[in-house]
Amino acid sequence: MSKSSPHPRPNVPAATVGPLDSLWQGRVVIWVVLAAEGLAAVLTLAGDAPLGRWVRFGLLSLMVQWVALLTLGGLYLLRKRLNDVKPQLIAYLALALLLLSSWSVLAISDLLLGDLWRISEAARLDVVLRVTGIVMIVGWLALAAFQNHWRLRLLAVRAKQAELAALQARVRPHFLFNTLNTGAALVHNRPDEAEHLLLDLADLFRAALGGPREIPLSEEIALIERYLEIESLRFRERLRVRWTRPDPMPEALVPSLSLQPLVENAIKHGIERIAEGGDIDIRIDSDERGIVIVISNPIPADSSRAAPGHNVGLPSSLAQIETYTEGRGSVEAKTGDGRFIVTVKLPAKD
């Protein structure tokens, strides 16, 4: 009995993150607001304040905040058009937007604030030149700071990717070695089941050797089912799997083979070490906040001695989920009621 192997889906590239994406984070916006307030305070202390320093600070604070937020807003509106633009050109555009916002706010302030902000004709050009000089200096300093921030972020991402690749390199041979051992044990006594195993193994090989990529959650679940079919040939009635999952499966992307090592751990450290076997529970829930996947297995009575292995299943899944979700996803493990429980949380799609 042969089983047709599904055609592989094309690779789904991981979402790329550009330098502008950092600007929309809440922490960065707060820092921009605080830096603007600091600049307003410096300008207040640096000049005369005939109307009182608090009035001057309030007016300068209002102007500087409007300039900062208008610049951020302009970059946000242009974000899609700037996806393929070089970072150096984006920096020049940001500086140009900062200057344009400053001149616009200065002109509007001159019109609306009356005697509090009225600039004489003789001093108008001087004020504009001073504002332009201040904006250029502050803008270049801000761009230099942001460039350093972006460089450090890229280095952190590359280090994480290197760590992830090292973990995957350790997981794949271990996983494939166990599967081949199972196939070798079936070849002589149960050749039909060995053929079934090899067809499942072909799908898993394709995923394991495909390199880091994102695949639909439904495809990752299908790979887990292939793996469980292989292991059921080895453990037979000792392995019982209970699925609780929505129909249809939530539309989400996950790193390839990021969940399968968790199921492999459940078998290796749970079912394999219990003579009578046990149940593996796999539950998938989703709501507006995201997707939660819970995998649990019984804990052997003799849990003091760990099963031999590389102990990379949990670290690999955690590294992949955190990398591909930029820290918004998580993998947590705990024990309770005689079971080992792993909970994977995936954020909702933006």
pLDDT of residue 47: 67
- Tokens of residue 15, six digits: 């979402």
**Residue 240 falls in which region: left (phi positive, over 0), alpha (psi -120 to 50) or beta:** beta
Residues 109 and 168 in one domain: no
Residue 260 lies in a domain: yes
Q: How many domains does the chain have?
A: 2
96, 118, 140 - which closes a domain: 118
Residues 206 and 94 in one domain: no
pLDDT in tens, the chain (350 residues): 334 333 333 333 334 455 666 666 667 778 777 877 777 777 777 766 566 677 777 777 777 888 888 887 888 888 777 777 777 777 778 888 888 888 887 777 777 765 655 556 566 677 677 778 877 887 777 777 777 766 776 666 666 655 555 555 554 565 567 667 777 777 777 777 777 777 777 777 676 666 557 889 998 998 899 889 888 877 889 999 999 999 888 888 888 878 988 998 899 889 989 989 999 999 999 988 899 999 999 999 876 544 544 455 677 777 778 777 777 888 999 999 899 999 999 987 75
Residues 165 and 114 in one domain: no
Main-chain phi, psi angles of 189, to 5 degrees: -90, -35
Residues 206 and 277 in one domain: yes
Closest CA to 197 of 228, 175, 219: 228
Q: What is the CATH number of the domain that holds 311?
A: 3.30.565.10
- Tokens of residue 257, six digits: 């083979």
Residue 241 lies in a domain: yes
pLDDT in tens, 141-178: 777 777 776 677 666 666 665 555 555 555 456 556 76
66, 92, 118 - which closes a domain: 118
Residue 6 lies in a domain: no
pLDDT of residue 99: 83
Residues 217 and 81 in one domain: no
Pair type for strands 239-244 and 278-287: parallel
pLDDT of residue 1: 38
Residues 218 and 306 in one domain: yes
Full DSSP string of 282-319: EEEEEETTEEEEEEEEEPPS--SSPPSS---HHHHHHH
Residues 185 and 290 in one domain: yes
Domain ranges, residue 263: 160-347
Closest CA to 130 of 143, 114, 119: 119
Residue 229 lies in a domain: yes
pLDDT of residue 335: 92
Residues 307 and 183 in one domain: yes
Residues 100 and 179 in one domain: no
How many residues does the structure list for the chain? 350
Cβ-contact 330, 344 below 8 angstroms: yes
- Tell me which residue has tokens 């949990």: 314
**Residue 277 falls in which region: left (phi positive, over 0), alpha (psi -120 to 50) or beta:** left
Residues 173 and 52 in one domain: no
